[in-house]
Amino acid sequence: MSIRLEYIVCNKNGDELNRFDVKSEAEAYDSVICAAEDISLLLEPLQEKMSLSDDQIYAISEHLAFQSEEVKLALKQIKKPKSPVQTNNIQADKSIEEEQKTSVKKSSKKK
């Protein structure tokens, strides 16, 4: 008699997606499936707009997740313009940091 250990990856509904003999392979596949589920949430607004079914949305999400390296490279090309609001927020954050540093210096001198 032999004993065989398998790792079964299931989706959030409990449906079996794949079986693996190696734990690290199962975990890698699981992380891609989790990413696909997150991507599908991002694509939900397209569902009504483009008359896509849940299966189509998930198929697109899964494809993007499995092509993650290519997707990362494509997204790196996007350059966001700096708006005045972002610049003001950054300046405000710097001012707050400077105030905190000053108060820390003052409190350490008192001791």
Please determine, for residue 107, whether its predicted confidence score (pLDDT) is greater than 50.
Answer: no
How far is Cα 43 from Cα 81, in angstroms, rounded to an integer? 24
Please name which of 68, 63, 26, 60 lies closest in space to residue 43, comparing C-alpha atoms: 60
- Report the pLDDT averaged over residues 47-63: 90
Q: What is the pTM of this model?
A: 0.61
Per-domain residue ranges of the chain: 1-79, 83-111
- Report the pLDDT averaged over residues 27-56: 91
